[in-house]
Each structure stands twice: as structure tokens, then as C-alpha cells.
Structure 1
Amino acid sequence: MTLRRVGLWCVFLVKLVIVIARCGDGYCKCSEVRKRATCSSKQRKLNYFPALPPYIKQLTYRDNYLPHLNRNMVVNLTKIKLEQLYLNDNGIFKLDANTFKDLNSLVKLDISRESLLKSEVVAKALHHVSRSFERLVLQHNKWDTIPSNMFDGLQDSHISYIDLSYNNLHSFNGTEVLRLIPRVKYLILNNNPISQSDFDFHNMAYMFKLSLENTYLQKVPNFCDDKGSSFLPRLRSLYLGHTSLRSVTMEDFKCLPFLWKLSLLFADITVIPNNTFAALPVLETLILESVIRLRRLEYLALNSTSLQKLQFGYAKFKFDDKGRYNNELFKFAPNIRDLDLTSNSISTGSILKTLLWHLVRLEKLNLQGCGLNYLARGTFDRMARISVIIMKGNNLYGWDPTIFNKLTYLQKLYISGNNIAVVNRSSLDFTRKIRLQEIDLSNNPFSCTCQLLWFRDWLKSTKNLTVALYPHRYFCRSPPAWNKKLLISFNYTAEDCREKNPWVWIGSFLGSVLFLCIVVIILIYWHLPTIRNIIYLIRLRRKGYVRMVNSSDYLFDCYIVCCESDESWVLQTLLPKLEEELFYSLCIPSRDFDLGGNIADQIIEKMQESKKIILVMSNEFAQDEWCQFELARAQERIRNQGTEAVVIIMLRDIDNRHMTSAIKELLRKNSYATWVTGTIVIQLFWNIVLAAIEKPFGNPPVAVL
């Protein structure tokens, strides 16, 4: 920046400070850009309207002292083209009828929080506002009634907006109050104790928006006259939120032919009957947020071909309970483009897939905090137009690599705050095939092991894609040495992750002087699995075991969890021994799962049909995403039935860099059998496995440290 530019900036800042300092005798803050001023004073010292710059069009005058407001006091405001005047909490109790007569440009007047001011006094002052006047706000004035002549003075104006919120109005009579201004388009009556019987909708034929939120309504008001015609034939928006509405039916809305937005926010409705919204032919937006008392959606509850936006968040509706709704709920609202299901219960991917199947025109989907634990393959395949998917705060451990491949218009994907520990190359391969602009994977419990090297490098190198909240919201959660450290600081290299022989390093460090010690350590290490197996078997036999009972309650004796590379050992060694020799019934996914079926659903089903679960562990097991999913289900079984529900076989030891926190915690609390070769030790191994399988529930073995 040149010295000339610096000088110009200094001059500009000095002028700006001077302008602000001189605005309204020091009581006001003015913005030339926004053309507005705010005047307030400590201890209410300001009791007049100071002169303001000519560019000011909006004035907020609050927390001052104006007990008597008259025409002479606003003379300074006549020198500017004031369009909007806000008078809030100024202690006004007297207002002359001609006070606003000279404010010829006034379009909006807000007189709020003036509890000493009577509505009758304001009514007289409204007779002298300009003909261009359009908007009137009278909030927080503690008025109990509105005089029948309240708005008579606005007859020749362009008044279209009236806000009477936060008063103490028990009724509103359109026949009297609006008789001379029937062309009002916006009427806001929020936070008044109005009930249905105290409302008269006459003289509202031109009404576009009616808001009755936080009133005492217990049922939808009658919008039909005695002849069945509509009181509000042009109504576009209706707000009935935060009321005590206990029911809604098709009859409630039949006289609102042009309604396109309906809000039932926080209503107390428990059931939405068939065709409730079918009588609204142009309804586009339906707000059902926080209807926490809702228990049932009937088959045609959402029948509306015009509906484009549905806000159903925070309703705590249990979609997991299929008795509360029909699977084809959205079949009759096929044109929905924006769907918000935040904080409802949709725990399984298969339920979600079925629920969304008919929404082929969906463009935005919000599934935040729904408790999702997995995504079924093909869930989004039919949503060709979708551009935003939000799945924050769920229980996802990962996703199928192909699940987003067909979403060519997807621009933003948010999966923060889940249980994702490892992200590999295949998980993010879809980012090269679609138009994704932003992805959010923050606040996940990343496992900073060798499996995360690719993802760490990808985060640092990606340029054409915005990674939201990176790096300050990407933390390691395991192993313990890296807990709560930023992922960007994870400094493992490819060299660190190569397999190394620890004895070479020990031998070079200790040298020939410690040769004998090394030999002893090697011998102990070599036979450590056998020693561990012997201790495990002794403990099992000391506690005793008996043949399993009630096996008829299960289809299988054991469910086998193993990765693909260890499957040959299962089929060639474990299966012949347990099935063919000992006559146990085993469930092996590659053999017993249905082809083409949903893998996650079958895992959950088969585990429930098996009395015990056998985990075959190795380095490859720790890296396999499906194995981690099955491990999570096995840990849930342990919490429900005790440690005897799971039999752990250590086929090959797991290296520290592959050890996740979940596996480490499991091995710390549970004993396991280690696979070794040799005639005697192999028999010892099978004795342990048999004892562990036969051990009844409720008497957990002590873990070997």
C-alpha cells in the first residue's frame, strides 16, 4: 500500500469519527451506509429529538424520556426525509393528535414498550400520518382492548401491515377494527391471550399473512362464513405455532384455497389424519417442527402433490416404530424438495431407505441427530437432483464407497459428529466423480494410526473441495498417546508404518553384552501365547462350565466374525473342528448370508440368531470396516449378556499402530485364546475354545493382563 493510499484512509477514518461524534449531539449513532440512526441515553437524559444528518431515513429512539410528545418536538425530524420511526420505551403517556402531521415521508411507525400510553391516544394520532404510510407496529404496550376506531385515521393511507404482538388482547373484531381499512395484507397478533371464540375474521378479504402464534387457540379457527365461503380468500401464510391446538383435520383448512405456507410449530397435536392438507391445492411449505406430542401419522397424512418443503425437525417422532406410520408416508407427497427430519428417531439404514424411496425430486435433506448407525446401499440413488445432505450428530462408523456415486448434483455433504474413526481412499473416491464443493467430517473420533495416513495427507492436499472446519475441529481420539491432539499434527510417516523386527533394534542397542538376555526374552516371547492359553484354561476350569442350555432358542451356536484374508483359516481349520467334529452350528457370513441382501441388516439378524459370537482377530481384522461394525455389535452383546457371550481368538497379534481404542478396551477386559502350532499346544487351544463356547452366561472369566 502506497503512502498516498495510507493518507487517504487516514483522512476517511478521521471524517468518519467526526461524523459519528457529531451525530445527534453525541446521543446518537449514525450509519450513512444504512441510512439510519439510533438515539439512546444513560439515565434517560435525552428528552428531545436532536438534529440528524440529511441522509438519515430510519430513526430508532429508545430508552429516553419523552413524557409528552407533540408536533413541535419533532421539528428536527421534518428536516430529513424520515421514512421509519421507532419509539421504544421512552415513558410516553401523552401524545398530541397532530404529532406526526409534518412527517410527510413516514412509511413505518413503531410505538412499543410504552405501557403508560393509551390505545385511544394513539388512535387519534394516526389520523395525521402521511398518505404514504404502510406499516404500523404496536408491541409490548399491555393493551387489553383495541378501540373500534383504532385505525380509522388510516383510511386514506396505504396501510398494509399491522403488528399488535405481545399485548394483552383477549379478542379481535375485524368487523369493527378493520371496517375502514379492509385492504390490510399482514396482521400479526402473536403472544396475546386470544381464543377461537373471540376472533372475528370479517374485512380480511385481502389478507396475505395472518400470525396467531402463542395465543390460546385450542383448535383451528373457522375461516368459513355461514355460506361456506372464505373470510380470507387470498391468504398465503398462516402461523398457528406455539398454541394449544390438539387436533387438525381436512375441514379446518378447506376455506383457504391459496394458502402456500402453514406453520404448526410446537402445536400439541397427537395425530395427523388422512388428507389433512389435501384441501390446500397450492400448499408449498409445511412447518411441523417440535410437535413432540405427535404419536401417529395416518396413511395419507401428508397427501399433497403441491408440497415442496417439509420442516419436521425436533418432533422426536419414532420412525423406528412402524406402527406409528406407513412405509409409504411420502408416496403421496412426491414433489418435496426440502425435507428436514432433524432429531427424529431413525436408527437403521433400511428404515431410512424405505422412508425416502419415493422422494425422487429431493434437493435438500437434513438428518441431523436421528441416531443413524449405518446407511443402506442405494439409499440416495433415486435422488438425482439432491444438492445438500446433512447427517451431523449420528452414530455412523462409515459408509459404503458407492453410496454417493450417482449423486452428480451433490454440492454439500455434512457428516460431522459421528463415530467415524478411519477414512480411507475408497471412502472418498466419490469426490472425484461428482460436483461436491464442501464436505464436513469434523468432530469425529479419528483413530490416528497407520490406517489414517492417507486421509491426513488428503486433508492437507485437497484444493478443489472445501473441507469445513479443518483443521481446528479434526482431533485424534485414539490411541491414548494422540488423544485430543489435532489430526494435522499426526506425524507418522510411511516408513514408520512399515513392518519392523523389534529384535534387530534390541540386538543392535544392547550388543553382544546382552546377548544372553535377548535369548531368554526371545524364548519367553516365543512361548507367550502358550503360557497365556494355559492360564486362561486354568481359570475357566476353576470357575467351572456346563453344557449350554436353551440352545433351541437360537438358530446357530456361534456367529463367526473375521476379515476376508482370515477366512481361509476359518474354513480350513475352525469349521472342520467345530462343525464336523464337535457338531456345533456355525454362521459364516460368506456362506450363510443371502446374496444381494443388505449386509448390515443381515449382520444384526444373524448375530441375534446366534448364541455366541466368535471374533477371529488380526491386523487385517483391525483395518476392516465391516469387522469394526460387527465388533460394535459384539460389544453391545457383552453389555447385555456379559463377557461369556463373546469368544475371542487371536489368530495373529495386532500391532500397536493398528490397535484401535475399541479393540484395546475389549482385550483389556476379556481373556482370549491365541492360535499356535504344534500337536500339544493345538490341543490346548481347542480345549480353551470349547470351554469358552460351553461356558454359561453370567460368570465372566478374569482377563489376562
Structure 2
Amino acid sequence: GILLTQALRPGGRMGPFLPLLASLLLLVPEASAYGFSNCIQTFWNPGSFLCIQRFLKDISSAVADLPANATSVNVSHNSIHRLPAASFHHLPQLQQLQLVYNQLEEIEDGAFENLGALDTLNLSNNCLANLSKGAFHGLHNLTHLFLRNNRLSTMHPHTLQPLGSLLILDLYSSHLANFADVAHSLQGLKKLWLLNLCCNSLSSLNSSSQLPPSLSRLYLCNNSLRAVDSGGPQLLSNIRNLDLSYNNISNVTSFAKAGLQNLSYLLLKGNPLNVIHLLNVSGLQPRSLDYSGLHVGNEGVNEVCKRLGKNPLKHLLLQSNNIRDLRNVSFSHCPPIQTLDLSWNKLRSLGCVGELLGKGQRRHLENLVVEHNLLNSLRYCKTHTLEVLKNISFRYNRILSVSYGAFSYAPNLRILHLNINNIAYLQKQALKGLSSLIELRLDNNLLTDLYESSFADLVSLHTLNLRNNHISVLFPRVFRNLSQLCTLDLGGNNIHQLSNRSFQGLRSLSKLYLDGNHIKKISSDIFHPVQKSLKVLDLKGNRLQYITKKQHKVPPFKNLHKLYDLKLQAQQPYGMKIIRPRFFQGLVALRYLYLSENKLLSISPDAFDDLGQLEYLSLADSSNGMQDLPPGIFKNLSRLRTLNLENVGLHSLTLEVFGNLSSLTSLFLAKNQLQTVNVSVATALGQLRYLDLRKCPLGCTCENLWFQNWLVNSRVQVVYLYNYSCDSRHQLGYVYSFDTRICFLDVGLYLFSVTSPMLLLFMLLPLVYHRAYWKLKYHFYILRSWVNDRWRRQDGEHFKYDAFVSYNSADERWVLEQLVPSLESSQGTFRLCLHHRDFELGKSIVDNIVDSIYNSRKTICVISRSYLQSEWCSLEIQLASYRLFEELKDVLVMVFLEAIPDRELSAYHRMRKVMLKKTYISWPLEPEAQRLFWTKLRKALKGTTEQEELVGKF
């Protein structure tokens, strides 16, 4: 694997063998991968795909690349507005499809074509207003259809006809207003069993169409119904379970004509009707009614009980009846009741339950439910014993205290729920005598202290939940008699310290939850009483912290040989920092270890050496400078199947760390600093089936060439593989498809071929500049003039000026006072071109110079020392000299205003070259000689020299 990695590097020693090695990689079965653009394949169910919250706007972007053997797809929480025809045509084995929360507005005919195996379709929480006739075409095996929370103001009569196998139809809160339309659309659904029409806008059950005979459960709650007989006596004749709660039904006589003879359960809560009058006129079976929310009242209970007959009754439900006091309520006339539910009333005190019941009821009552009331205390009561009472639930009350013997009336109680109250005082013997109790829930109360006798009689207790109280100290011997206790939940309390007697007596304890406390230190002595039975230990969110690598004298978990689940994540406030050497020594049966959210700085290389049975390990969100893991840290974890290293600061994957994880199937590496994935590591992980590399800065380099080759076979799922973009501002594209041709090229040869000409060019540029700078510049200006159509070269063309005067500003006085008057005077016949007078405004200086030279027959260069030092004057004489040599015409007249020695002119080699080919005129200081000067100058401007003569001079 190391050789392969080296070979794939540009310039590697095995460069000539790169194509062969790449082809070999394609043949290695372990080095193969696959992924999906916007879905994740569920590892434990290969046919299930989650495409949730991917900001998708069309269905094809979610399912287009899914395999044909997909059985479950969830595309919820996206922004898909429309389902085109044949959207899922390539998924013939699909059984479950969820499209919840998608802003879906339109389903085209045939959208679900070829989904003959689909049995569950969830389209809830969308914006569907209309469903066409062919919307569900092809779903002949669909059994569950959920359309709740849409905008279906009406139903097309033939929309549901293709659904011949439908069992459950959920139309909850779908804005339906016409029951007749709904009933008509159900024709042909011969297997429909449940119909939910709650929270719609139905005001009547009037319908000419009958409901399917198979329909036995009909939910019509939260509508605007006023009566139930509009549909005739046959409409509801087959319904066995009917929910009419929270409507506006006040006409009790309508029930007499509704044909409800087969009802076994009827819920009428929230309707303004008199239940006694209802029973008198409707012919309803009293046992079929749920009496919750019917304002029965204290006196009504007796009347209802008389109508229930004498045969035992399973449930008497009296929820939401505004019952405030039970002293005037008597159940003595009721038949034997198995479950009495008084929830959602306004009871402040329960009194003695036995006194409310007759002798027959006391022998049969098994379940007492008084939830969501105003109970503030539970007091001693032992007037009558309820021998068969097994379950009591007083949840969601305001109970502050539980007195001595509060449940002595139920000596055989097995389940007691007192959670979600305000219990601050649990009397020492409040639970006295409950030797048969197996489950006690006291969570979410205000308990601060537990006493030795609090649970002394609970010898059969299996589960004790004390979560979310204010317990700060566990006194010795509190649990001494709970030898059968299996689960103890003390999470969310205020425990700071544990001692070796905190769990004394818990010989059978297998699950201990201590999360969310303030425990700062743990030792092997603490767990000594439970070391032979403890299997699950939760210490999440405590204050354990280790800041040195000093080894424990005795590891804290040394004797917990049966523990298989240990949670140590999110220690507060800054995490554990360091995991000491042999910290987990003794946990020979551990299979699940959670260490995430601990901001680890260091982990000892031998920390996991004793965890040979470990199957799951999470170190996620532990990045606090740890970066790469120490070599050999996982060397003994040959059975590890899932490793979560998300956001731990990894920069590289090495064989020294991951080489021994031969059973690993799932590897989470998201949010790390990985730029490459080592092919040797991937090859070593032969059982890998799931790899998450999201938000890693993977590079499009030759080191990741093998990554593309993983796409050939389907063995390892790389989460959102096709969304990994190249991590570089200069690289465009994706990791799975970047250009790999450079990896097979001789990079050195190409670099030499490119750099050698560039090097030679840079060497020649100074020489060219020195030798031909002005000539190149001249031709550049000539070319530009030609492009701009200003080129003047044709023989015989009439010139605009007789001469262009090239001079320095220092010599301007001589030009204006001597040269111009002498040549442009009344006696003169010459027209001169001067800078300040004849240059065109708005045009560049260079263009003006070029135009002036080529629009003049001659160029007069007025030479002085100032002239030689001027860059513009140098340009003018250069351009004029190029015209001289290129056109072979005598166009240049040189006038020297002062005597300049040859040694000073030697630096101006271009001018020297011109002087050797032409004579020049010097300005004399004597007045007599000046007359001769002007004569020579006029003659030079008038005369022409033939081409042959000029050539001969050269």
C-alpha cells in the first residue's frame, strides 16, 4: 500500500508503472466505493435511503441515482413543488415512500407509475390542493396513504379508485368541506379499514354514497358537525370505532337514526350534549361510550353506572369532566371496573379510593389513572384494601408531599408513576408495604434527600427512576434492600461525590444512569457493590477531568468485567482533556464506548488495549489540538465495527493507526482536515461498507487517483460522494471526476519543454532591447499608423508641409526668431510644421510626431546639447532617420546650433550613422556667414536627390 501511494505521487520513482498500477487498483475488490448525490443508504437496511433536508427542488435530483432494489425512500423536508410523470419508474421494488414537508403542489398523472410494490405513501404537510384522476395510477398494492395537512378542499371522484388494497387513509386537516365528495371518492376501496377526517371543515354527513363495508374506524373529530343522521341509517352501520369529539353536536335524537348498533367505542368529548338524554333516546349501548368530556358531573356518575349493567367493565373513562371533588361521587352502582381513568379533571384531593368503590369494584379494580389534575398531596388511607390494584399513575399533578403509608390501600401494587409533579418531601415510610412493586417513577420532581428507609420495603423493585430531581447526596444504605433492582436512573441531579457505600445492596443492578450530575472523580471502590452485575453505565455530562498523564493506581473500571456500554461524553466544562494509560483496564466485555465532545488533547497509545470486544467507539467532536491519533491506538480493536472520528482534527490516515481494524464496517471522518485518503488504509479495511468524508478539504491531486477507481464496484458507500468539490481556489470540479491525465504523464519532460524556451526568451530580451529597441518601437508606430489609415508612402503625393522642425524647448527662441522668419517670410516659400502650432489637439504625442514627419517633405533637426538629452527629440530624429533608410529618400536636414565634439556624439550611434551618410549645416555666429547658411538651408529644402544617388552614397 505504501509503494502504491509513493508511485501515485508526481515524480515518484515508479512513474513509468503508473498506468499498470492504476489498472491493478481497479481489480482490487477492497478498493471500491459508491455513493449517491443526495441520499444516504441506511447501513443496517441496504434498501433504505434517506434524502432528508437536502434543499432539493426536483425529485430527480434525489432519486435519479438510486438503485432499482431500493425498498424505502425518505425525501422529506425539501422544496419539491412538483412530481412529474414516471418520477420513480426505475424503483420497481419500492415499498415505502415519504415526501413529507416538501411544499408539493402538483402530482402529474402517472407520477407513481411502476410502483406496484409500494405499500406506504406519506404526502403529509404539503400544499396539495387538487389530485387528478391519474395521480395514484399504478399503486394497486398501496395499503397506507397519508395526506394530512394539505389543501384538498375537494376530492376528484376517481382519484382513489386505483388503490384497491388501501387499508388506512389519513386526511387529517386537509381543508375538506364536503363529506359527500369524500364518500363518493371511497367507492371501490373494498379493504379500507380506517379513515381519518379529523380537523377538516365538515358540517354534515349528508351523502348519497355509502362508506365501504370494510371501514370500521372513522375519525371525525374537530369538525363542525351538528348531527350524525344526515347520511341515513346505513352510512355508519359498519363502524365500530367512531370519534366525534370536538364538534358541535347537540341534537341527541339524530343518534337514534344513525344506525350505530355495531359501535364498540364512541368518543363524544367536546360536544354540547346531555349524555343521560343521549342514552335515553339514541339506543346506544352505554358500554360503547367514552364518557370523557361529556360533563357527567358528580351526580351523573351514579346514573351512568346504573346503565352500565352488572357485567365486569374493562374501562370506565371519565376524563375532562370537570370533576372537582370525589366525596359526593359513588361508584358503588357501577359494574366491576378493571380500569378507572379520572385524568384531565380538577381534583385537588383523592381521599380514600376504597371508600368510593363498592365491594365488587374493590375486588376488580386493577388500574387507577388520575393524571393531569390538581392533586397536591397523597395522604395515609387504609379503610379498604384493593387487593388486585396493580397500577397507579398520578403523573402531571401538583403533588408536594407523599405521607406515611400513602399506598397502603394497594399492598400488591406493581407499577407506581409519580413523575412530573412537585414532590419535595417523600416521607421515610411513604412506600411502606409495597413489597410487590417492580417499577417506581419519581422523575421530574423536587426531591433533595433519600433516606435509608425510603425504599426499605421495595424488595421486588426492578426499575427506579429518580431523574431530574435535586438529589445531591446518596447516603449509605439507601438502596440496601433493593437486591432485585436492575435499572437505577439518577441522571440530571446534583450529585457531586460518590462513595463505596452509595450503591450498597444493589446486587442485581445492570443499568446505572448518572449522567448530568456534578461528579468530579470516580474510582473502582465506588462500583464495587455492583461490579458483578453492572452492564450499562452512563456518566455523560459530568465534571470528570484529567489534566496529567499520571497513571491510576487502580483503574476506575477495573472490576466491571460485565460492563458492555459506557458513556463518558461531554464532560463539563472543558472535557476530559487527557485519557490516561490503561484507563479502561478491566473492561473486557465492553462493546460500546462513547467519548465524544470531550476536547481531548491527548490519548495514551495503550488506552484501548484491554477493549478487545469493543464494537462501537465514538470520539466525535473532540478536536482541541489533538490532531492525529497516536500510532497503535487501535491495535487491539480487531472486532470494532463502527468508529466515529467526526471533527477530531485528523490531518492524515495511516496504517499505524487504522491498520488493525479488520472488522470495521462504518467509519465517520466528517469535518476533519483530510486532503487525501490513503489507499493503503482503505485496502486494509477490507470489511468497510460505510465511509463519511463530508466537509473534508479533499484535493484533486494524484494522491486521490485511487478514489475515483472506487466507483467501479459497489462495496463501500461514501456519503454524498458526488458532492465533494476540489479544495482549491484554482481547481474546479469534483474529486470523483477531476482530470487524472497528468498523473500518467512525464511531468519533468513537460516542465523542461515549457521552461527552456521561456528561459532563452528572458536571456534574449535584454540583448534585443539594447540592439533594436528604437527600431522595434519605430515599426510599432508605423504599424499602428497603417492600422489607423494614416500611412503616407505613395510617390507623387502632395505633402502638407515642406519641413517638420524637430527642436528642443531650450532652442525654441532661435527657431521662432531666426528659423521661422527666414523660411516663412514674405521672401520665403516654405511652410513649416511646429509642435506648438500644428499638432492636432486630442491626439497622442507619438501619433502627432509620426503624422508630422510623413506629412512633410523634409525633417529639420535643430541639434544642440539640450536636443541630444531630450527623449522626445531622440524619438523624432530616430523616426526621421528610419524614413531616410527605409524609403531611400533625402528627407533629413541636420542643423547644428553649436559645435559638439565627436567624443560627445559617440554615445548617439544612430545620429553618427546618419552624419556619415549626409552632410550637415552648422549655424555660424558671424552675420556675414549666416546669409550663406540660409542659402544652403533653402537649397537643401528645395533640392531632391534621386534614389540611385542616395544608394551610391551608402
Match of 1:328 in 2: 582
Match of 1:263 in 2: 513
Tell me if 1:190 matches 2:443. Answer: yes
Tell me if 1:358 matches 2:605. Answer: no
Match of 1:26 in 2: 220
Tell me if 1:476 matches 2:711. Answer: no
Question: After superposition, where does 1:266-345 map in structure 2 within 5 Å?
Answer: 266-280=516-530, 281-292=532-543, 299-304=554-559, 305-316=561-572, 326-345=580-599
Q: Does the 8 Å CA contact 2:566/2:594 hold for their aligned counterparts?
A: yes
Q: Does the 8 Å CA contact 1:401/1:429 hold for their aligned counterparts?
A: no
Following the alignment from structure 2 to structure 1, what is the Cα–Cα distance between the partners of residues 321 and 634? 57
Following the alignment from structure 1 to structure 2, what is the Cα–Cα distance between the partners of residues 415 and 62? 54
- The counterpart of 1:443, out of the listed 695, 713, 721, is 695
Using the size of structure 2 for normalisation, the TM-score is 0.44
Match of 2:46 in 1: none
Match of 1:45 in 2: 270
Following the alignment from structure 2 to structure 1, what is the Cα–Cα distance between the partners of residues 652 and 292? 54
1:396 CA drift (Å): 0.7
- The counterpart of 2:715, out of the listed 434, 442, 464, is 464
Aligned-pair identity (%): 19
Tell me if 1:218 matches 2:472. Answer: yes
Q: Does the 8 Å CA contact 2:570/2:598 hold for their aligned counterparts?
A: yes
Consecutive unaligned residues in structure 1, runs of 5 or more: 30-34, 52-58, 508-517, 529-705
Match of 2:500 in 1: 250
Tell me if 1:145 matches 2:401. Answer: yes
1:195 CA drift (Å): 2.2
Listed one character per residue, the Cα deviations across residues 13-41 of structure 1 (whole Å, up to 9, x for unaligned) are: 53548733485661289xxxxx9999864
**Relative contact order higher in (CA < 8 Å, ≥ 6 apart):** 2
Match of 1:452 in 2: 704
Q: What is the identity, as a one-letter code, of the residue corresponding to 2:620?
A: Q
| CA separation of 1:525 and 1:331: change in aligned 2, threshold 3 A | farther
Listed one character per residue, the Cα deviations across residues 267-299 of structure 1 (whole Å, up to 9, x for unaligned) are: 112222442102212111111000036568874
Tell me if 1:523 matches 2:728. Answer: no
Following the alignment from structure 2 to structure 1, what is the Cα–Cα distance between the partners of residues 312 and 731? 64
Q: Does the 8 Å CA contact 1:119/1:146 hold for their aligned counterparts?
A: no
Question: After superposition, where does 1:596-635 map in structure 2 within 5 Å?
Answer: none
Listed one character per residue, the Cα deviations across residues 530-563 of structure 1 (whole Å, up to 9, x for unaligned) are: xxxxxxxxxxxxxxxxxxxxxxxxxxxxxxxxxx
Q: What SS class does the counterpart of residue 593 from structure 2 fall into?
A: strand
Q: What is the identity, as a one-letter code, of the residue corresponding to 2:458?
A: M
Match of 2:622 in 1: 370
| CA separation of 1:424 and 1:164: change in aligned 2, threshold 3 A | same
Q: Does the 8 Å CA contact 1:437/1:465 hold for their aligned counterparts?
A: yes
1:143 CA drift (Å): 1.7
Match of 2:482 in 1: 232
Larger Rg: 2
Q: What SS class does the counterpart of residue 196 from structure 2 fall into?
A: helix
| CA separation of 1:282 and 1:293: change in aligned 2, threshold 3 A | closer
Match of 2:163 in 1: 9
Listed one character per residue, the Cα deviations across residues 509-543 of structure 1 (whole Å, up to 9, x for unaligned) are: xxxxxxxxx97786349999xxxxxxxxxxxxxxx
Q: What SS class does the counterpart of residue 566 from structure 2 fall into?
A: strand
1:235 CA drift (Å): 1.1
| CA separation of 1:186 and 1:220: change in aligned 2, threshold 3 A | same
Match of 1:419 in 2: 673
Match of 2:780 in 1: none
Following the alignment from structure 1 to structure 2, what is the Cα–Cα distance between the partners of residues 437 and 20? 42
1:457 CA drift (Å): 4.1
Match of 2:226 in 1: none
1:176 CA drift (Å): 4.4
Following the alignment from structure 1 to structure 2, what is the Cα–Cα distance between the partners of residues 170 and 66? 34
1:224 CA drift (Å): 5.1
Listed one character per residue, the Cα deviations across residues 402-433 of structure 1 (whole Å, up to 9, x for unaligned) are: 544433332222222211122243231124x3
Following the alignment from structure 2 to structure 1, what is the Cα–Cα distance between the partners of residues 410 and 294? 28
Q: What is the identity, as a one-letter code, of the residue corresponding to 1:283?
A: L
Q: What is the identity, as a one-letter code, of the residue corresponding to 1:314?
A: A
Match of 1:570 in 2: none
Q: What SS class does the counterpart of residue 529 from structure 2 fall into?
A: coil
Q: What is the identity, as a one-letter code, of the residue corresponding to 1:272?
A: I
Q: Does the 8 Å CA contact 1:214/1:242 hold for their aligned counterparts?
A: yes
1:189 CA drift (Å): 0.3
Q: Does the 8 Å CA contact 1:364/1:388 hold for their aligned counterparts?
A: yes
- The counterpart of 1:428, out of the listed 671, 682, 693, is 682
Following the alignment from structure 1 to structure 2, what is the Cα–Cα distance between the partners of residues 447 and 214? 48
Match of 1:577 in 2: none
1:361 CA drift (Å): 2.2
- The counterpart of 1:494, out of the listed 726, 734, 741, is 741
1:503 CA drift (Å): 9.8
Following the alignment from structure 1 to structure 2, what is the Cα–Cα distance between the partners of residues 60 and 440? 52
Following the alignment from structure 1 to structure 2, what is the Cα–Cα distance between the partners of residues 116 and 441? 57
Following the alignment from structure 2 to structure 1, what is the Cα–Cα distance between the partners of residues 652 and 307? 66
Q: Does the 8 Å CA contact 1:412/1:436 hold for their aligned counterparts?
A: yes
Match of 2:650 in 1: 396
Listed one character per residue, the Cα deviations across residues 190-226 of structure 1 (whole Å, up to 9, x for unaligned) are: 121122256721320101111111222111144359x
Following the alignment from structure 1 to structure 2, what is the Cα–Cα distance between the partners of residues 438 and 141? 48
Q: What SS class does the counterpart of residue 272 from structure 1 fall into?
A: coil
Following the alignment from structure 2 to structure 1, what is the Cα–Cα distance between the partners of residues 306 and 632? 70
| Number of residue equivalences | 488
Listed one character per residue, the Cα deviations across residues 171-201 of structure 1 (whole Å, up to 9, x for unaligned) are: 224734442x420101010121122256721
Listed one character per residue, the Cα deviations across residues 93-114 of structure 1 (whole Å, up to 9, x for unaligned) are: 35545399658564xx776665
Q: What is the identity, as a one-letter code, of the residue corresponding to 1:130?
A: L
Q: Does the 8 Å CA contact 2:293/2:319 hold for their aligned counterparts?
A: yes
